[in-house]
Amino acid sequence: MSTESPPRKRQRNDDNNETIIQSESTTTTTTTATTTATTAVDEKLYSRQLYVMGHEAQRRMMKSHVLVVGLSGLGCEIAKNCCLAGVSTMTLVDPSPTNSFDLGSNFYLSEANNMDSTSRAELCREKLAELNRYVDVRVKQVSLGDATEIKKMIPNLSCLVITVPLSRPSLVELNETCRACKCVFIYTLTCSVFGEVFCDFGPKFTVFDTDGENPATSQIESIVCSCPAAVKVLEDQGRHGMETGDYVTFSRVKGVDGKLNTPGTEYQITVTGPYTFELDGVDFSMCEHPATQGYITQVKKPVEISCRSYADCMLDHKDEEFMLTDFAKMDRPKLLHLGFNALHSFREKNQRSPEPGNKEDIDKMLEIAKKMDKDGILTDDNGSKTRILKHLASGSKSTLSPMCAALGGIVGQEVLKACTGKFTPIKGFLYLDADECLPDDILPQDEVTPTGTSRYDSQIAVFGKEAQKKIESLNYFLVGAGAIGCEMLKNWALMGVGCGENGKIHITDMDRIEKSNLSRQFLFRDSDIGKFKSSAGKAAAVQMNKDMKIEEYQEKVCPETENIFGDDFYDNLDGVCTALDNVDARLYMDQRCLFYTLPMLESGTLGTKGNTQIVVPHVTENYGATRDPPEKSIPVCTLKNFPSLIQHTLQWARDYFEGTFKQSAEDVNSYLTKSDTFVEELKSQQNTKVETVSAIRKTLVDERPMSFDDCIVWARLKFEELFNNQIKQLLYNFPEDQVTSTGAKFWSGSKRCPKPLLFKIGHVCQDARMENHFNFIVAAANLRAKMYGIEGNTDKDYIKKVLTNVMVPDFSPKEGVKIAANDEEAKAQANGGAGVNNVDSEFDEILSTLPKTSEMGDYKLSPIEFDKDIDEHMLFVTACSNLRAINYGIPTEDTHRSRAIAGKIIPAIATTTAMVTGLICLELYKLVGTAKKQLKIDAYKNGFANLAIPFMTLSEPTAPATTKSMLKGKEWNWTAWDCLLMDTGDVTLKEFFQYFETKYNLEISMLSHGVSILYSFFANKKKVAERMKMPMSKIIKSITKKDFPTNKLFLTLEVIANDKETDEEVELPFIKFRFRP
């Protein structure tokens, strides 16, 4: 359950489902029936987003009203992100017609709209409305020259976003009205590779959750009976992660005379160490028994913030009102603040923006900036600062897709903060730039003069016509067509990537579209559900830019598909862009990029956190050069007998699901369809074969159901076995008062003493408020029926009626049952066990009782693969986990939270996705090349951001590590990007040795291909002599017994060699041997 407080900020039209912004000239007045606070959230649609925002914040968003003024690229990006997120109403204001500069950033405008009289707002409305059926998108016809009409709408708004230049008096007037009406005011612009954001959340704004992180939780090791009460947490569970002044609650506390077991009571703490804290003002000195177990949960408190007005900030800005985005550019925010103010002044004086490359306009704006420079920002300038201002002026008409995407993600999240009170807002200004993309000097005017009709006019005005041709000629491989893949395709369509005569985009994704994808994978619609993502993504991208050449695949990138994505494929690429959701695939693509020396654009998100990494051959380290530590696994003993966290019980429930509904069915099918080979395989599995064949007999004979009633009976008996009998046996082996050899209590610390459960149909658990007893029966019985091809039934009355007639046998704990108290004992038991003869005879005996496969005909079971997005699966896993949690006194969780933990769901939201793809596409500009400028490593930027805090940092990538070797007496410092390229054709091994010796003056002592040794100094002389006459490819084929795919051009060889002069071993990179032309 969400722990967010109820909304305290403005709530408009709370009592009316028709939350329409009242206006006579509103073009669209569609009624939205999904905007009340009590309306259920569509968990299927907002699935991944709910793990970012939470249910309460999502409901507040569903009541919010946003007005976006300006529908060029930036305005459309912001509106898109807010519509995907699920605001109630999105009103668009922009009477301007489309111009060619819009086409490079607004993905809903086309060449056909250029200079059409229809407004940009009208052209975008319908397509924005398609993004989310719960959002009412309407257009308001208002002149931007007069703020009066917009002012009338503000009292009904949650947030006003202005994305086009308005007069300073209008901005001040609108901002003051917003402050008076408790409406958040955001002003944002983008020009070329520069962006500006100003946020005013008003004089008083309540933030209900400052960072969006889950509340810190810990387990109690002890609470001393003292004044103040001193708490120590279990160190093996990690630090408590709290600060002095935080509040906590307690649950399931064992000790301190029950004083901490009042639900919901909050205690303020004073931290005394990473594992200790005191309870302020709490006196437990009179308690008889200290606490030895229990759970601690941090309470997140609302925070009130205050922002200064736009007028005040413009008159006297403060350092803390500039959010820094790049620590290598400490002075950049103030410089860009000056530049944007000078540009604003130029526009007001001339009623237009400076023309691209126009020296006179650029100089005029520069003079304005110098006159406005009261802080002396431009003094002692070596030319670098004026260069920035010149480029800002020259590109002021341009709106680039990557910058709009990056800024649209950042601002979109600020809008969601305004609507929900979730996360900490930007207080003041944020400036973002990527000036490294730009040439040192302004390009000649004829090189940057727009055509007036091309969708690439914005890019031409910034980078020139020559650079645009390079972009169109790119051949890129996009791996993944999910959230990041969709945004990337959109950016590339607007940039023109792969749209030239020689350009092409290859995209692969083996997944199909599901409903939960639609809230962030914006290229897809309801009608696309079930289609391959790569196919639907291609169709949507080509619709944005008909010149885009895309080849789609539905293949996984891995060694098994190298017949498709092989040497000839990578040989024709300019680069790779990963849009993946797992590390293994990233590492594989990283190795491909290393081998073919291709740049890689890498990005990823986790809720409001996002990162980008630019990988440049020979300049930066590769992706796999640094890795996160692996996740800690849960000890087997903890899972089986001693859980203490809900994560333990959920993993146990998932494992049980897999074993009961998938593995058992697969084993039965293997026995029935390939009996002889399956039995032979089992015989070799000495430690598990009896368990496996016993399970087959149970599934196929002893417990095989003939009707759904049998499935209900089975489920009821399983409940008894899992949550009563097994617990009784455990307590028989380890009684509650058991002590260890050292005299310590066995059931202490993280070992929680369990209690058997008595089955009660109507039982509701304390924390999650779920009917776990009955849910377990319903889900287990229906899954069992599905596995056997029996028709299921979820009728509660019917199931309850059958349950009343189930006879549950009495259980008595058995003597001699071995239960491991820790992992060491578990391993010893697994390696010991019964003697070989006993195991073999028991296996043979059980096997003989199985029905003959000839008697079973075509009979088969249906294995059930766990899917976190199937409610029936999650009903079982949640109920099973919660029942085990109740056994051990662990707080239970609802299905939503359980789905996240059991399914290892990665929280996702469209705003972060848009931001990271925008940032990484800015790096693509650098890879294409900057006119008259050779980029070094400090020009590239890796990025990390957390939009919740908010925080962003762009930093220089790490250079690749070097290895020092001596070749022919000269020092060679090589990196992971280097190899020894041998383009000799398919020579014999003897010719290979001669070439290597002549070129490098090295003597080979060992040569291998993968795990196959082709030559070694200690090998059989006769065999070596035979191989010396054979072509290299033939040697490898003779050893591996495999043919090479027709598209394979290179062989990877590893070598150990010694310098012929010194006889010292020389450390070398791999050999890239081209054996085919």
DSSP letter (8 states) at residue 517: G
- Residue 403 is inside which H or E element, if any? helix 401-420
CA distance 647 to 653: 10
What lies within 8 Å, CB to CB, of 1028 at 6+ separation is 988, 989, 990, 993
Amino acid present at 535: S
Amino acid present at 340: F
What lies within 8 Å, CB to CB, of 1074 at 6+ separation is 981, 982, 983, 984, 985, 1049, 1050
Task: Give the closest residue to 478 by CA, choosing from 352, 576, 405, 400.
Answer: 576
DSSP letter (8 states) at residue 739: B
In the residue annotation, 486 being an active-site residue is answered as: no
φ/ψ of residue 802, rounded to 5: -65, -40
Are 702 and 884 in contact by the 8 Å Cβ rule? The answer is no
Catalytic residue, from 199, 287, 419, 637: name it.
Answer: 637
CA distance 310 to 199: 8
Exposed/middle/buried for residue 133 (C-beta within 10 Å: 0-12, 13-18, 19+): middle
CA distance 788 to 1006: 57
Are 1002 and 995 in contact by the 8 Å Cβ rule? The answer is no
Q: Classify the C-alpha dihedral 552-554-559-560 as positive or negative.
A: negative
Are 388 and 336 in contact by the 8 Å Cβ rule? The answer is yes
CA distance 70 to 68: 6
Are 237 and 470 in contact by the 8 Å Cβ rule? The answer is no
Are 124 and 101 in contact by the 8 Å Cβ rule? The answer is no
Alpha helices in 545-663 (DSSP H): 567-571, 583-596, 636-640, 646-657
- Record the tokens describing residue 594, joined without a space: 């290393």
CA distance 349 to 539: 45
Amino acid present at 179: R
- Record the tokens describing residue 322, joined without a space: 């500039």
Is the backbone peptide bond immediately before 228 cis, with ω within 30 degrees of 0?
Answer: yes
Exposed/middle/buried for residue 610 (C-beta within 10 Å: 0-12, 13-18, 19+): buried
Mapping DSSP to helix (H, G, I), strand (E, B) and coil, where does residue 33 land? coil
Task: Give the closest residue to 397 by CA, choosing from 452, 444, 443.
Answer: 452
Q: Supply the residues annotated as catalytic.
A: 637
